[in-house]
Amino acid sequence: MAIVRNIQNNVLYRYLGENKYRNLVTLQDGIVPEEKAKEIFKINIEATKILNEYPQVEKMINKLQLKFEK
């Protein structure tokens, strides 16, 4: 699934389908209405590629509480 960046705080989220997202820093899942998601999330192709190729990076983001710069 795709990785998106919250443009308000630069935290990465994994899109899980059906308007459900997982915060990669806190590992909390939640539903975000489609219209709200369009306002606050931007797809990050580079992060999607990296995390799909190297899933252990997702654990590193959580453990180190990493944010992603634009």
Residue type for 6, please? N
Mean pLDDT, the chain, whole residue set: 95
Residue 1: predicted pLDDT:
86
3-state class of 22 per DSSP? strand
Residue 70 clears pLDDT 80, i.e. is over it? no
- Cα–Cα distance measured from residue 53 to residue 30, given in angstroms and rounded to the nearest whole number: 24
Q: In what order do the strands lie in the sheet with 29-31?
A: 29-31, 20-23, 12-17, 3-6, 41-43
Residue 69: predicted pLDDT:
79
